[in-house]
Amino acid sequence: MESPENSTESSWNVLTTPEHSRLEIVPGVVVQVNFSPAEDQVILDQMAQGKHGRASDLYLRRQALAVSLSPGFDTLLSLKVVRGIEPLDYQLATVRHVLKNLRGRALLCDEVGMGKTIEAGLILMEYLMRGLVRRVLVLTPPSLVEQWQEEMQTKFNLDFISYDNQAFKSHPHPWTEFPRIIASLDTAKRETHRDEVLAAEFDMVIVDEAHHLKNRRTQAYRLVSQLKKKYILLLTATPVENDLEELFNLITLLQPGQLETAASFKRKYVTRGDPLKPKNTDDLKRLVREVMVRNRRSETSAIRSRRRADIIELSLSDDEMAFYNRLSSFVRGYYTPGLTGMKDGVNQFILRTLQREIGSSIEAVIPTLEKMAENQVYPEVLRRVLITLASQAREVKGRAKAEILLKLLRQFDEKVIIFTCYLETQAFLARWLRENGFSVAELHGKMRRQEKEEQVRLFASDARILVSTETGSEGRNLQFCSHLVNYDLPWNPMRIEQRIGRIHRLGQERDVRIYNLSAAGTVEAYILELLDAKINMFQLVVGELDMILGNLDQKKDFEELVMDIWAQATDETDLRQRLDHLGEQLIEAKKHYQAVKELDERLLGELLPDE
């Protein structure tokens, strides 16, 4: 439409589009936009005289305009951008409830394995996409840092920097510089970090396994309480362990004063003589429901399929076993339990890597030995030993695990994923299986995203077997497959759980079969025996393993515990005794978890009844 010649105002055919927060020309739709030259001139004159507002006011107005143009929280913007997930109805309802009613401050108490991480990620994405959140801090136990980083990147396309990243550690002020951080709660509360963490301002804080904050007298609790934050999500399946005061402490982190003071809460809502029995439950229910969400597996369409695990025991060839023992003796000679740096010029982490690699395959260990042998920093005597070991490795005959794998694969016709920790083992297996007539797809961490997508499509269609490293399969939906082979075994049990989670996940309609190859006399065989015999790991619900390991009264992670026990053992009998002791600790940790789980099911069932 042409503007009237004699008018001081002009009109154009435009349409404002809330979803994109900009103006677009749309044929046939008329929205009148007025221009006032006289008023514009006044503004220009004031600017010429240096009379103008602050840049912060302009930013605030632009942010307010963007918010006003965004749809309400009934419309979830994040669903258009997430990758590889299809949130279930209860998860979407939780996200909307937290956004609309709980105002971004919530205690997410879904039962273990129900997808609290997905719910938290969707809530975060909604705030990010609306411009309400920019700086984010995720606090987790150390064992979950890597998992959170992977989930945020693969499912939500959000890059977080972890506290152990070199760029983070080398920056003089990392906590205030990086916009999205994942750190362990233990790291953040340390005296060397605490002041800078508390000086930083965060738009959103997410705390996983928040039951670690149940005691308000701890450094961890005080840290989270004092953080400068606008929104906060606390994730835990077991908010109460010993008494109702723990529930009070967590809710007070979210909404100080929601349950009044500790003394008045105890007087009003806790039965005298029984710290786990609530009273005045109608009032307490109302207050708790204003900050807490809990979804139960029995009320949702969560994973219903079961797992069945088989241990395929085997013996290595004589050559393989001789070299395994030779390399193990070398590692034991240089490894010192508890030491994190160097001993006699050898890095302790590399020694653990060597021992894990030889448990996977000869192919995995050769490149590491060769690289070490070329390192001019090592003494000449050590380098000669490494050259000899590498040469001996190349001469080893027989691949007993690979032969057993072939026999296993010929026993059934279904598609199967074969997992390994190492790229060299993955390449060897893919080549070996093709030579033996199998159609094979591959995934590994060095592939570009498009290559990975092509290989997943190949596996979904023509290829019967997928040979994958753990990093290669990150973020992939592979639940069209129900058979999995652990060719080697990660020493970190959470990595085993993550492998299984690639196929035993939402959308899996068949029971899952897991085959674990176990070579007698190896560290991996001992680990498998521990986890299967003591805590029946493969029958646990997704997420329960971490809850159990978190109850171990140890400062070291499980991988380090096993390595130290193996290195310190004087003989087979001593090794068995040490591992049995760790097994008893695992049993007690599982019993403790089960007791807390039953308690929370009963208690939260009273406070959060069905709608």
Fold match between 77-299 and 307-313+397-602? yes
Q: Which of 21-25, 74-78, 272-276, 325-329 has the highest mean pLDDT?
A: 325-329
CA distance to 201, 491, 553, 554, per residue, from 205 (Å): 10, 31, 27, 27
DSSP string over 299-333: GS------EEEEEEEE---HHHHHHHHHHHHHHHH
Distance CA 242, CA 214 (A): 10
Query: What are the CB-based long-range contacts (under 8 Å, 24+) for 508-512?
Result: 508/303, 508/305, 508/479, 508/482, 509/305, 510/305, 510/482, 511/305, 511/306, 511/307, 511/308, 511/482, 512/305, 512/306, 512/307, 512/308, 512/482, 512/483, 512/484
For residues 125 and 601, the model is more confident at: 125
**Domain residue limits, the chain:** 15-69, 77-299, 307-313+397-602, 318-395
Of 421, 525, 428, the residue nearest 473 (C-alpha): 421
Alpha helices in 530-571 (DSSP H): 535, 544-549, 558-568
Q: What is the pLDDT at residue 542? A: 67
SS3 state of residue 468: strand
Helical packing angle, 362-373 and 380-395, nearest 10°: 150
- What average pLDDT score do residues 556-577 get? 88
Beta bridge partners of 183: 139
Tell me the C-alpha distance between 322 and 538, whole Å: 31
* Token pair 């010429």 in the structure block, residue: 48
Chain segment 482-499, per-residue pLDDT in tens? 999 999 999 888 888 888
User: Which segment, 34-43, 295-304, 347-356, 594-603, is predicted with the most confidence on average?
Assistant: 347-356
Comparing CA positions, the residue from 487, 536, 480 lying closest to residue 503 is: 480
Assign 111 a pLDDT band (cuts: 50, 70, 90): confident
CA 329 distance to own-chain centroid:
35
Residues 558/564, Cβ–Cβ less than 8 Å: no
pLDDT over threshold 80, residue 608: no
Distance CA 26, CA 549 (A): 59
Report, as an integer, the average pLDDT of 409-432.
96
| pLDDT exceeds 50 at position 294 | yes
Alpha helices per DSSP H over 318-422: 318-334, 348-360, 362-373, 380-395, 400-409
Q: Give the burial string for 135-150 (b: 16+ CB within 10 Å, else e).
A: bbbbbbbebbbbbbbb
d(CA 440, CA 153) in angstroms, rounded, equals: 27
Q: How far apart are CA 350 and CA 240, in angstroms?
A: 41
pLDDT for position 24: 47
Q: What is the pLDDT of residue 370?
A: 95
**Residue with token string 């006032």:** 36
- Of residues 114 and 514, more confidently modeled: 514
Q: What is the DSSP letter of 537?
A: G
Contact status, residue 105 vs residue 231, Cβ threshold 8 Å: yes
Distance between CA atoms of 250 and 211, rounded to whole angstroms? 8
pLDDT of residue 341: 63
Domain 77-299 = CATH 3.40.50.10810:
yes
Pairing of strands 15-17, 22-24: antiparallel
User: Does position 124 have pLDDT exceeding 70, yes or no?
Assistant: yes
CATH assignment of 307-313+397-602, given 3.40.50.300, 3.30.1490.20, 3.30.465.10, 3.90.180.10? 3.40.50.300
In the predicted structure, residue 371 carries a pLDDT above the cut 90 = yes
Residue 544, pLDDT score: 80
Q: What is the mean pLDDT of the chain?
A: 87
Query: Reduced to 3 states, what is the DSSP secondary structure of residue 98?
Result: helix
Contact 76, 70 (CB under 8 A): no
Q: Please, which pLDDT band fits residue 347 given cuts at 50, 70 and 90?
A: confident
Distance CA 192, CA 197 (A): 10
User: What confidence tier does 439 reach under pLDDT thresholds 50, 70, 90?
Assistant: very high
Average pLDDT, stretch 472-486?
82
How far apart CA 287 and CA 255 sit, in angstroms, is: 11
Query: End-to-end CA distance of the chain, in Å?
Result: 55
Count of C-beta atoms within a 10 Å radius of residue 63: 13
Q: How far apart are CA 109 and CA 241, in angstroms?
A: 13
Asked whether the predicted pLDDT for residue 551 surpasses 80, the reply is no
Quick one: residue 164, left, alpha or beta (phi over 0 = left, psi -120 to 50 = alpha)? alpha
In 429-473, beta strands by DSSP E: 440-443, 465-469
| Beta bridge mates, 311 | 516
pLDDT at 2: 40
205 SS3 class: strand
The model's confidence at residue 66, banded by pLDDT at 50, 70 and 90, is low
Question: Phi and psi at residue 535, in whole multiples of 5°?
Answer: -125, 5
The angle at the Cα of 493, spanning 193 to 118, to the nearest 5 degrees, equals: 65
Is residue 9 scored above 50 in pLDDT? no
Q: What percent of the chain has pLDDT over 70?
A: 89
Q: Are 443 and 461 in contact (CB under 8 A)?
A: no
- What residues have CB less than 8 Å from 210, skipping those under 6 apart? 107, 234, 235, 236, 239, 250
At 43, the pLDDT band (50, 70, 90 cuts) reads confident
18: pLDDT confidence band, cut at 50, 70 and 90? very low
- Which of 381-385, 470-474, 582-586 is predicted least confidently? 470-474
Position 443 scores a pLDDT of 94
For residue 154, CA distances in Å to 148, 157, 443, 473, 475 come to 10, 6, 15, 10, 5
Least confident of 178-182, 315-319, 476-480: 476-480
pLDDT of residue 524: 92
Judge whether residue 20 has pLDDT over 50.
no
Residue 255's pLDDT band, with cuts at 50, 70 and 90, is very high
Mean of pLDDT values over 365-387 = 93
Residue 19's pLDDT is what?
A: 40
pLDDT band at 59 (very low <50, low <70, confident <90, very high): confident
Average pLDDT over residues 93-117: 92
Q: Residues 238, 244, 245, CA angle at the centre, nearest 5°? A: 105
Contact 427, 363 (CB under 8 A): yes
Q: What is the pLDDT of residues 173-211, one digit of tens each?
A: 999 999 999 999 999 999 999 999 999 999 999 999 999
| d(C-alpha 424, C-alpha 447), whole Å | 14
